[in-house]
Amino acid sequence: MVKIFLKRSREESLERFHPWIFSGAIQRIEGSPAEGELVAVYSFDGELLGTGHYQSGSIAVRILEFGTDKLSDRFWIEKLLASYNFRRKLGLTESSTTNAYRLVHGEGDMLPGLVIDIYDDTAVLQAHSAGIYLVRNQISDALLELYGGKLRAVYDKSSGTVPSREIFNPVDAYLFGEKATPATILENGKIFNVDWCHGQKTGFFLDQRDNRALMEHYAKSRNVLNLFCYTGGFSIYALAAESTSVTSVDSSRSAVELLEKNVELNRQSGIISKEALHKSFCTDAVEYIKSEGKGIYDLIVVDPPAFAKHKSALSNALRAYQRLNAAAIEKVAHGGIIFTFSCSQVVDKISFAQTIFSAAAQTGRAVRILHRLAQAPDHPVNIYHPEGEYLKGLVLFVE
């Protein structure tokens, strides 16, 4: 097995269960590891620290197990079972109102490079590292053992997330079974079509589940505008809450089409009343809010895609968040509420709050913070790996 020795004193973060080894921390490598190969990591003094997947680039090793150079034959089933038991304790695995949840959230579940979302009887796996991609069939087998006959299909959606410089060329495909998409899931008693084959990410933004439920609490008798609505997560909750009207905006044609289907499905099932008013627009959300008059909406959701994917794009991203939020704060009605989010990992919660502060100051309106929001708990953050905290939200009350 290839051995990697760290520079002096560079083992400290590993001893605190931070699972990344940066290439700059490596003193020497015994052997020549292939992309995705399991390697053993040692301190400068030769103490065995753990084993993980090697990958060329800034994060050289992602540790899967600390204090050993072997993974047990039952490694994947044991880890998935631990992740499952955690979700069970969160009340997500046997719920009669929710059958979709994130089973594995990478570093937050001590499984760096791996994301698995469960959509009722289908698991969608996404590899974010070469090592995970290479063992995807083992992970799929472990999933089938864990869920028994309850799992009908396992879909691999790694084409956009495994770095393309690898020697292999990932193609999205079923690893087990097959299921026609869009397929339906239940979230807090609402029905959603999810298309993991053609949709964004793994098909649905499960990280917003609790934030949607909070918004439902405020939506009654309000005119709601849902910017960057995707397939209508927030819109369906707002319609179910007897809002006065809901307007949904997204630039993706296929997202808006699925949103329309979701509205119909929930109407037919009596979750949304026949009279509920909904309009959708397939257009640029920033242009839309800028062109709208003031005071039309009393609740606005602003949930844009990650404006900054890398630190280098940070200052431009913060300016874009500020412009967008200033427009929302300027346009919302008196006594209006804004749910605003950033899912850029490189924008931390302090810079996000400062950006919203600047946006508010730009409008001159009185703004109070009602809630500070984050990703749902099935997207846990390992306290020693703060990089795992990516979704931030503020709920604002605007005079």
CB 322 within 8 A of CB 384: no
Among 295, 308, 305, 328, CA closest to 395: 328
Q: Which stretch binds ligand SAH (CB under 6 A): 49-57, 131-139, 158-166, 298-306?
A: 298-306
* φ and ψ of 169, to 5 deg: -125, 90
Site for ligand SAH in 113-142 (CB under 6 A): none
Task: Report CA-CA distances (Å) from 96 to 190, 239, 322.
Answer: 11, 21, 40
Size of the residue set binding ligand SAH (CB under 6 A): 20
Give the nearest distance from C-beta 398 to ligand SAH in angstroms.
Answer: 20
Give the nearest distance from C-beta 174 to ligand SAH in angstroms.
Answer: 24
According to the binding rule CB under 6 A, does residue 252 interact with ligand SAH? yes
Give the nearest distance from C-beta 111 to ligand SAH in angstroms.
Answer: 24
CA dihedral (115, 118, 122, 126) in degrees, to 10, reads -10
Give the nearest distance from C-beta 234 to ligand SAH in angstroms.
Answer: 5
DSSP result, 195-262: -TTTSSTTSS-GGGHHHHHHHHHHHTTSEEEEET-TTTHHHHHHHHTT-SEEEEEES-HHHHHHHHHH
Give the nearest distance from C-beta 79 to ligand SAH in angstroms.
Answer: 28
According to the binding rule CB under 6 A, does residue 155 interact with ligand SAH? no
**What is the maximal distance between C-alpha atoms in the chain?**
71
Among 5, 72, 71, 16, CA closest to 38: 71
According to the binding rule CB under 6 A, does residue 347 interact with ligand SAH? no
Give the nearest distance from C-beta 347 to ligand SAH in angstroms.
Answer: 15
DSSP code of 362? H
Give the nearest distance from C-beta 240 to ligand SAH in angstroms.
Answer: 14
**Helix/strand/coil (H, E, C) string of 165-206?**
CCCCCCCCEEEECCCCCCEEEEECCEEEEECCCCCCCCCCCH
Quick one: 184 or 251, whose CB is closer to ligand SAH?
A: 251
DSSP code of 132? H
38: β partners: 53
Q: Which stretch binds ligand SAH (CB under 6 A): 71-79, 175-183, 239-247, 250-258?
A: 250-258
DSSP count for the chain of H helices, then E strands: 10, 20
Quick one: 140 or 340, whose CB is closer to ligand SAH?
A: 340
How far is it, in rounded angstroms, from Cα 178 to Cα 328? 42
According to the binding rule CB under 6 A, does residue 250 interact with ligand SAH? yes
According to the binding rule CB under 6 A, does residue 292 interact with ligand SAH? no
Quick one: 152 or 290, whose CB is closer to ligand SAH?
A: 290
Q: Which stretch binds ligand SAH (CB under 6 A): 102-110, 270-278, 282-290, 376-384?
A: 282-290
According to the binding rule CB under 6 A, does residue 92 interact with ligand SAH? no
Q: Which stretch binds ligand SAH (CB under 6 A): 39-47, 56-64, 299-307, 351-359?
A: 299-307
* Straight-line distance from the first to the last Cα atom of the chain, in angstroms, rounded to the nearest whole number: 64
Alpha helices, DSSP H, located in the chain: 12-15, 75-89, 130-134, 136-147, 209-219, 233-240, 253-268, 285-291, 314-331, 349-363
- Of 240, 255, 326, 346, the one binding ligand SAH (CB under 6 A) is 255
Give the nearest distance from C-beta 250 to ligand SAH in angstroms.
Answer: 4
Quick one: 13 or 159, whose CB is closer to ligand SAH?
A: 159
According to the binding rule CB under 6 A, does residue 303 interact with ligand SAH? yes
- Of 284, 345, 365, 397, the one binding ligand SAH (CB under 6 A) is 284
How far is it, in rounded angstroms, from Cα 98 to Cα 188? 5
Contact partners, residue 390, CB within 8 Å, separation at least 6: 343, 344, 345, 375
Site for ligand SAH in 189-248 (CB under 6 A): 200, 205, 208, 228-231, 233-234
Give the nearest distance from C-beta 373 to ligand SAH in angstroms.
Answer: 12
Quick one: 119 or 205, whose CB is closer to ligand SAH?
A: 205
Whose CB is nearest to ligand SAH?
Answer: 233
Q: Site residues (CB under 6 A) for ligand SAH? A: 200, 205, 208, 228-231, 233-234, 249-252, 255, 284-286, 303-305
